[in-house]
């Protein structure tokens, strides 16, 4: 927030300084705003600086609201993940030391000992078939 305020403040100050340097310059805004006489460039710069500040703060507020929503969503997802983790840890703690998962893994290892399967398209000796 502080960085946004500094940047907006510096930008507005630059606009006001630009208007102050050219304060003797009069601009006729009859076609845009409908003023009755010429206006000093200082006032035009002051209104422009105020518009920049308001637009910048509105943009910052919209971005902060969006970021807050995204953060809340991530926190909900993280909480659900922790809940599932705790449930799986509780199930693992409730399973006896020689649980079914270990027995199933041992059975699968015994059923398929370290056998090497030949690649598709190769000869039984492990070499490619002669041409």
> CA-CA distance, 73 to 78, in Å (whole number)?
9
Predicted local distance difference test score (pLDDT) of residue 41: 84
pLDDT band at 76 (very low <50, low <70, confident <90, very high): very high
Residue indicated by tokens 């015994």? 110
- pLDDT tens column, 24-65: 888 777 666 666 677 888 888 888 899 999 998 898 888 888
Mean pLDDT of the chain: 77
Predicted local distance difference test score (pLDDT) of residue 73: 92
Domain extents in the chain: 2-95
Predicted local distance difference test score (pLDDT) of residue 130: 56
> CA-CA distance, 93 to 69, in Å (whole number)?
36
> CA-CA distance, 124 to 104, in Å (whole number)?
31
Instruction: Read off the pTM.
Output: 0.51
Q: Which two tokens stand for residue 84?
A: 């599932």
Lowest-pLDDT range of 2-6, 10-14, 26-30, 85-89: 26-30
């Amino acid at each position: 927030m502080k960085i946004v305020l500094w940047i907006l403040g510096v930008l507005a100050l630059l606009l006001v300084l630009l208007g102050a340097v050219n304060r003797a310059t009069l601009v006729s805004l009859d076609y845009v705003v409908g003023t009755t006489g010429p206006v000093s460039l200082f006032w035009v710069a002051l209104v422009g600086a105020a518009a920049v500040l308001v637009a910048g703060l509105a943009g910052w507020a919209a971005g902060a609201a969006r970021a807050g929503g995204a953060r809340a969503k991530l926190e909900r997802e993280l909480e659900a993940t922790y809940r599932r983790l705790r449930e799986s840890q509780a199930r693992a703690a409730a399973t006896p030391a020689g649980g079914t998962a270990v027995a199933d893994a041992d059975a699968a290892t015994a059923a398929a000992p370290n056998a090497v399967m030949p690649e598709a398209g190769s000869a039984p000796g492990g070499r490619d078939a002669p041409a």
